[in-house]
Amino acid sequence: MYQLHYFPSNASAAPHMVLEELGLTYDLVLVDRAKNAQKSAHYLKINPNGRIPTLVDRGLVLFEAAAIVFHLVDQHPDAGLAPKIGTPERAKFYQWMTFLTNSLQEELMIWQYPDRLTGDDEAATEIVKRGAEKRAGAYLDVIDRHLKDNGPLFLGDTLSAADFYLVMLARWARPMTNPPRARTYVARLLDMVTALPSVRRAYAHEGVPDEIC
């Protein structure tokens, strides 16, 4: 049985949605960030980075949300949440997952926590925050153009784990001046994916309000 260590609306959300879409049996283990539990000695034994999420799959322990998602789709290939390995479609899947994690997610993390780079310098914090939001917005524009020409989902008409990953990041980005839903084709994807029972269940388990993103 899988065990997902999570906190509501954190990077555990994408693996959580994928677990639900796959129809798997799993346990949720709350890592209470409000109490700094991710830095506890107990949690650091399984995730030395002190970050969320962590997936335990029998003797295998994985951290990093994208790695967990890749593992889940590879363990359950018949579900079709990733194209067949070795195909051009799989290469595109890797491309968009990497773009979401290395580009968009990175800028959203800087936007949310600019003080991690600037300390107590308020002026510098504001500059860093604005810059990250601008870059994140540009990346969302790239996604919107792709979906316009190739959508409605990342891989056309085929649902993939990349679509769940974007839902997670879009929730984080809701407070942006120009939020994800301001883009026509991103909004269309979000409407389609958040309507799925798996997504509703995952966020309900986490106590997230109905307005997901």
pLDDT at 210: 66
Same domain, 101 and 129: yes
- Considering the entire predicted model, what is its pTM? 0.96
Which residues are within 8 A (CB) of 147 and not within 5 positions of it... i.e. 6 or more apart?
153, 154, 185, 186, 188, 189
pLDDT for position 212: 74
- List of residues 6+ apart from 200 with CB closer than 8 A: 194
What pLDDT does residue 159 have? 98
Locate tokens 């942006």: which residue? 176
Residue 209 falls within a domain, yes or no? no
In a domain, residue 168? The reply is yes
Identify the H or E element spanning 62: strand 60-63
Tens of pLDDT along the chain (213 residues) come to 899 999 999 999 999 999 999 999 999 999 999 999 999 999 999 999 999 999 999 999 999 999 999 999 999 999 999 999 999 999 999 999 999 999 999 999 999 999 999 998 999 999 999 999 999 999 999 999 999 999 999 999 999 999 999 999 999 999 999 999 999 999 999 999 999 999 999 999 999 876 777
Q: Which of 33, 49, 80 is the last residue of a domain?
A: 80
Nearest to 12, CA basis, from 159, 131, 172:
172
Structure confidence at residue 177 (pLDDT)? 97
Are 70 and 168 within one domain? no
> Do residues 27 and 92 both lie within one domain?
no
Q: Collapsing DSSP states into helix, strand and coil, what is residue 25?
A: coil
- Nearby residues of 34 by Cβ (< 8 Å), 6 or more positions away: none
| Residues near 172 by beta carbon (within 8 Å), at least 6 away in sequence | 9, 108, 112
Sheet holding 54-57, edge to edge: 26-30, 2-6, 54-57, 60-63
pLDDT of residue 17: 98
